[in-house]
Structure 1
Amino acid sequence: MANHQHETPEIPKEVLTDLNQYIKYLRERIFFEPESPVFHYNLGIAYARKGLRAEAISEFKQAIECDPTMAQAYVNLGGLYFQEGELDRCINANRKALEIDPNLPMAYSNLGFAHLQKGEHEEAIEACRKAVELMPQLLQAHNNLAVAYLQVGRHQESIAASLKVLELHADFAPAHYNLYVAYSATGDEAKAAEHLERARELGYPAE
């Protein structure tokens, strides 16, 4: 089922006002130019920003109908499917994006996340490695890579991936926790304890 979240509370009031005006503007433009993939795409982005996933999905689909080569629309569509828990649809959408443009780091990152959630660890590793190869600063892909390596017992590679996460964001709590697990598995109790303490200081995992 689609999750209709109206006006997400994190958006400051003045930003929300601008966003609502932008949505109104785009809807008016689409009324006169219904075949414009760019207007549909931008409206999809705006709806996603507001947390209106079903509306965003509809607009990205319409953008693709207007321009089947719009790879970024597939990437965003896949990301929304992931949020909806529709992992196979997420995978299919991002694969279509990569058929159009094989150099989209976010498409690989989305694929890695979806495969990881499905327990398809080798596919997750392959996708996440490609994502970080294309965009080395993509923190979430490094973190997913660390988790996938942990799941298949490749502890040293997991440690390397988590250390890369901490280079990008020293206080990223899940990376500290992943290091605790990986160092524990390798018998390095001192480093394991150090990272567990830091993860807990940062509130992870939540009690």
Structure 2
Amino acid sequence: MTEQLKEDLPAVIAEMEKTVAEFPENVIAQHHLGLVYMKSGRIEEAIGCLEKAIELDPQSAESMINLGAIYFGQGELRKAEELNQQAIGVNPKAAQAYANLGLIAQQNNDLDTAIERYEKALAIDATLSTVWMNLTSVLTMKGEDDRALAAAHKGLELDGDSPLAHNNLAVALYFSERYSEARKHMEKARELGYSVDPNFVASLEQKLA
């Protein structure tokens, strides 16, 4: 969020609150106000708006996904999973819902399910760079080095300025014993502000010594 948007946020909220007060049955207005409340950290109000949007439109998959994201952030994984599953029931092509379910499975250390869900999301929308990055991490944890490297390259291809994408590729290259290339991407991740694991740095430098 830019500084300008931060400065304008109170005015945006005031205007949207006015719209919702005038048209309380407007699903889009409730949904968008919920999102703006999310951005401003007014979480309980965001939950209220998104729940109202779902009540008004039980087919509002996007509201379900965003409400699930709030619960995920609060550590309410069961609620988050239920909402994303509900969104898929409404819209089987909801790629972000599958991606979120992958995060939940990963959080629960169910790596096989996480991979399955990430791959489902990518089968629907292969441009989701963050999902490629998450998939890279899980495949690395599983020791599936070739698949992790392919996913890491795809994540970086889609978002070349992502410090996480560079770090993920550095790790994948390390496990593929391509240490010089790994260092290049590690250094780029640092340059972009990523806090690289010191243990990884030490191990990589040892390999290059």
Regarding TM over 0.5, the answer is yes
CA contact (8 A) 2:163 2:188 kept: yes
Which of 128, 139, 164 is matched with 1:174 structurally? 164
Cα distance, 1:193 vs. partner?
2.9
Cα distance, 1:115 vs. partner?
1.8
Which of 144, 147, 152 is matched with 2:137 structurally? 147
Which structure has the highest helix share of the two? 2
Aligned-partner Cα distance in 2 for 1:79–1:62: 16
CA contact (8 A) 2:152 2:172 kept: no
Query: Alignment RMSD, CA only?
Result: 2.2
Q: After the TM superposition, which of the residue ranges 31-40 and 137-146 deviates more from structure 2?
A: 31-40
SS of 1:106 mapped into structure 2? helix
Which of 15, 20, 24 is matched with 2:14 structurally? 24
Structure 1 residues 89, 18: closer, same or farther in 2, change over 3 A? same
Aligned-partner Cα distance in 2 for 1:18–1:183: 43
Q: What aligned pairs does 1:41-120 form with structure 2 within 5 A after superposition?
A: 41-120=31-110
Question: Paired residue for 1:201?
Answer: 191
CA contact (8 A) 2:37 2:46 kept: yes
Q: Is there any run of 5+ residues in structure 2 with no aligned partner, and where?
A: 199-209
* Residue deviations 1:39-85 (CA, integer Å, cap 9, x gap): 22121122123222221111101111122111111011011122223
Structure 1 residues 59, 173: closer, same or farther in 2, change over 3 A? same
Q: After the TM superposition, which of the residue ranges 164-173 and 90-99 deviates more from structure 2?
A: 164-173
Which of 1 and 2 has higher RCO (CA within 8 Å, sep 6+)?
Answer: 1
Q: What aligned pairs does 1:121-160 form with structure 2 within 5 A after superposition?
A: 121-160=111-150
Question: Paired residue for 2:154?
Answer: 164
Runs of 4+ in 1 over 6 A off after TM superposition: none
Q: Is there any run of 5+ residues in structure 1 with no aligned partner, and where?
A: 1-9
SS of 1:94 mapped into structure 2? helix
Q: What is the aligned-residue identity percentage?
A: 34
TM-score (norm 2): 0.83
Q: Does the alignment pair 1:12 with 2:6?
A: no
Q: After the TM superposition, which of the residue ranges 72-81 and 107-116 deviates more from structure 2?
A: 107-116
Aligned-partner Cα distance in 1 for 2:69–2:53: 15
